[in-house]
Structure 1
Amino acid sequence: MFLDALQSYYAPAIALLVFAVMVITDKLFSKRIKRLFLWEVGLIFLVIADTWADYCFSGLSTGEGVKLRTLTTFIHFAISPCLPMILVLIYETEDSKRFPRWFYLPMAINIVFSILSIWMGFIFRVSRENIYTRGPLFFITFVVSVFYLLSLIYCSARQRGKPNRKAETVFLLLFLIVIGFAIMVEIMFHLHFLVWSASEAFVILYFLLMTTQKILYDPLTGTYNRIAYEKQLEKINGHSECTMAMIDLDNLKNINDEFGHSSGDAAICSVASAILKTKGKHMWLYRFGGDEFVLLSNRLNADEMKKILKAAQKQCEEIQGIRPCFSYGVAEYRLGDDLNHTILNADLDMYRHKKNLKDI
């Protein structure tokens, strides 16, 4: 029994240690985000060790075996909902976005009932014969875990202007479905090592997904960055047609000089947000430089693209009483064309637009 449990969790334990090293040495995330992931690693390691120990203690029929199994069962139920809760805290990045105190109430209720279950059997019971059975309030831990998993999905889905928001939300929905399926399989077939191995795999994949965001997305505006833009050009060149718009903010230097660079950043974000809100599907916005953006579409023609950008002009929010504006140039790329020449045409069209605005 001891060796069976050890073999089942040997590989997940090694993977957790490697993952912990990845988190510690990561250079993309803030200390707070890395700390939350390390807490997640620590708790997963704890519940894996706890499940392993519980499996070993289940073969003991002595009084000590009963006490040890009661302890491992308590740890399992008390800690389980902490794992999705910590992932939710990743979205709590600013003082203005702190979760209210009631957010922690389900976790507190679960811990209290888990403690009381040691004597009163609300959630679980371990008999004198060292036999585990579910209590009448067994569902509490699962309800609390589902609450935090749904909170995680909600926080992901409500992110505004994030280019891969839908992909992230779908990933977390899949996480919920797989964990639910793993729980049912464990209960039906009396397995012990499925749920936490699946949870560990998804946490690692979630970290890699967030790493991809850091590499391919601009942290200031939430748009795709220049690396993503260059990769997209490689896919387009000689393979598919597209319409592109070169976009450049007007009078950004004046805003920086008069109100400071923080206001200049706010103006850049205002323009990016306006375009993200106005653009439709099959359109991708890239931050090419400091105040330069590129909008690509494989469905729209030049006239339709210009209508989108005109509408976005009206959506820009005022910064220090000034509504940011931008110039743009549009060009169509067709198979057989020189892609670099199309980019140059869009750039020249943008400068003509900028000159026309200055002459008004």
Structure 2
Amino acid sequence: MRTLVYSNAVPLTGLLFLLYLININYLFSKKQNRLFRSAVLINLGLIVITSLDYIFRWQEEPSIWYLRRITSFLNFSCGSIIPMLLMRIFYKEKFKKIFYIPLIINAVVCFFSIFVNIVFYIGTDNNYDRGILFFLPAATTLFYLALMIFFPAQKYDQGKKTEQIIIAAIMATIILSIILEVKYRYYCLNYGFSALGIIIYYISQNINFFAIDSLTGAYNRQMFNLAVSKTQSKQDCMLCLIDINHFKYINDTFGHEEGDKALVFFSEIIIKNMRKIATVYRTGGDEFMLVAKKENETVIQDAIDKSKMELSERKLSFAYGMTHYRAVNDIQDALREIDKLMYENKKLASER
């Protein structure tokens, strides 16, 4: 019993507190909160199930082996549901039915293991034995975590790398827990590590909510102000201010819905072409700021020219101002300079 208390006290407390946070969180949609809640409840249930299995393994009642077959089935078949639910929470497209296949296969194979030794087997003497497909439940869980790395919650490129690192770290902790349980006989760790992963993922997505502009996928004004404060008098960088031409006309003539579509398409092109070159921030309605810490003006200019060409296909254009900020100068002077250059560029374009 002491092992159960040591292993489960912290994850149980963390998950119960997370349930409370989910119930008072209005940042995510009802569907997203429902999926988060389901993942937490399943994790809580599996902690209880694995704890019961640990208790049953020391019992000598004649029929206890049958109960262990049931707890083992639930343990091995339900664990992979958690990363599948987490993947669905922020998956932008319709969740494809093909993604359920590994989950179904794992559940069916685990069910037959109640009767024959495939994944696990509990003999009538209450002794546990591994089956030839013992790795299947862990492989299914890691499969869904891998999908979360390849299909991160972030809508566009920005923020994806951070999220992928977080998911990879969660995957590493799950692998560690599997190794500790399988090879070194540390019991009741797996779903404690799973609970930690859910909590970390939940916190990271809340942080993303405040960092990313929900419409365009660019970082928001608050993140730009933070970047400016970190850059001020510390690091040279390239600054570029971009403003969509005639955006008010689009809104007034075609409506705000079309204006939003134009913003989304515009930001998609800019973020795609600035990948690995500059960080893109939406600092106003149709105003974006680029901050490049390592690239030179020529590289950024090439990306801007490419963006202009692609945007022209949708009859969108923009004005911009660009300057090289040096750490010895006042960054506010640099921001005023690019604002002036952008309006000069806009005026020049309107005269053509």
Q: Which one of 145, 149, 154 corresponds to residue 153 of structure 1? A: 149
What residue number does 1:182 align with? 177
Residues 173-322 of structure 1 mapped to structure 2, 5 A cutoff: 173-302=168-297, 304-316=299-311, 318=313, 322=314
How far the C-alpha of 1:76 sits from its partner, in A, is: 0.4
Displacement of 1:265:
1.1
TM-score (norm 1): 0.92
2:108 match: 112
Aligned partner letter, 2:150: Y
SS at match of 1:156: coil
How far apart, in 2, do the equivalents of 1:336 and 1:119 lie? 74
SS state of the match for residue 113, structure 2?
helix
Which of 292, 295, 317 matches 1:325?
Answer: 317
Classify the secondary structure of the residue corresponding to 2:35: helix
Q: Kindly state the Cα deviation for residue 67 of structure 1 after the two structures are TM-superposed.
A: 2.5
Structure-1 separation of matches of 2:44 and 2:275:
44
Deviations 1:201-256 (A, max 9, x none): 12111111111111111111111100000001101111112221111111112212
Count of residue correspondences: 352
Partner of 2:62: 63
Per the alignment, in what secondary structure is the counterpart of residue 133 of structure 1?
A: strand
Question: Per-residue CA shift, 1:318-344, capped at 9, x if unaligned?
Answer: 4xxx42111111122223322212111
Q: Distance in 2 between matches of 1:226 and 1:147?
A: 36
Say which SS state the counterpart of residue 136 (structure 1) adopts: coil
1:144 positional shift: 2.1
CA contact 2:277–2:300 (8 Å) conserved in 1 = no
Structure 2 residue 135 is the aligned partner of structure 1 residue 139: yes
Task: State whether residues 51 and 72 of structure 1, in contact with CA within 8 Å, keep that contact through their aligned partners in structure 2.
Answer: yes
Stretch deviating more after TM superposition (146-155 or 244-253): 146-155
Counterpart residue identity of residue 19, structure 1: L
The corresponding residue for 1:162 is 157
Query: Larger relative contact order (C-alpha < 8 A, sep ≥ 6)?
Result: 2
Structure 1 Cα separation of the partners of residues 260 and 301 of structure 2: 25
The aligned counterpart of 2:13 is: 14
**1:285 touches 1:293 (CA, 8 Å); kept in 2?**
yes
Q: C-alpha separation between the residues in 2 aligned to 1:54 and 1:346?
A: 66
5+ residue gaps, structure 2: none
The residue type paired with residue 340 of structure 2 is L
**Offset at residue 303 of structure 1 (A):** 5.0
Question: How much identity, in percent, do the aligned residues show?
Answer: 29
**Alignment of 1:349 onto 2:341:** yes
Instruction: Give the C-alpha shift of residue 12 in structure 1.
Output: 1.3
TM value normalised by structure 2: 0.94
Q: 2:38 maps to which residue?
A: 39
Alignment partners' CA distance in 1, 2:145 and 2:306: 38
| CA spacing shift, 1:209–1:66, aligned 2, 3 Å | same
Within the alignment, does 1:335 sit opposite 2:319 as a pair? no
* Distance in 2 of aligned mates of 1:297 and 1:92: 29
Greater alpha carbon shift after TM alignment, 249-258 vs 350-359: 249-258
Q: Take 2:44 and 2:106, find their aligned partners in 1: how far apart are those partners?
A: 20
- The change in CA–CA distance for 1:282 and 1:215 in structure 2 (over 3 A counts) is same
Output the amino acid matched with 1:103: F
Query: Secondary structure at 1:293's aligned position in 2?
Result: strand
- Cα separation, 2, equivalents of 1:297 and 1:129: 67
1:316 partner SS? helix
For residue 350 of structure 2, what is the amino acid of its counterpart? K
Matches of 1:189 and 1:228 in 2, distance apart? 45
Q: What letter corresponds to residue 20 of structure 1 in structure 2?
A: L
Deviation (angstroms), 1:170: 2.2
- Equivalent positions of 1:76-91 (< 5 A) are 76-91=75-90
Contact 1:329 1:349 in 2 (8 A): yes
| Inter-partner Cα distance in structure 1 for 2:11 and 2:336 | 52
In 2, Cα distance between equivalents of 1:284 and 1:166: 13
Deviation at 1:304, TM superposition (A): 4.5
Separation (CA, whole Å) in 1 of partners of 2:130 and 2:294: 57
Following the alignment from structure 2 to structure 1, what is the Cα–Cα distance between the partners of residues 140 and 192? 20
Distance in 2 (CA, whole Å) between partners of 1:202 and 1:338 is 42
Aligned residue type for 2:88: L
* 1:74 matches 2:73: yes
SS at match of 1:253: helix
Alpha-carbon deviation of 1:281? 2.5
Query: 5+ unaligned residues in a row in structure 1: which ranges?
Result: none
Residues 182 and 265 of structure 1: CA distance in aligned 2, closer, same or farther (over 3 Å): same
Distance 2:117 2:315 in 1: 63
- Secondary structure class of the residue paired with 1:332: strand
Q: Report the RMSD for the aligned CA atoms in angstroms.
A: 1.9
The corresponding residue for 2:126 is 130
The answer to whether the 8 A contact 2:91-2:151 is kept is: no
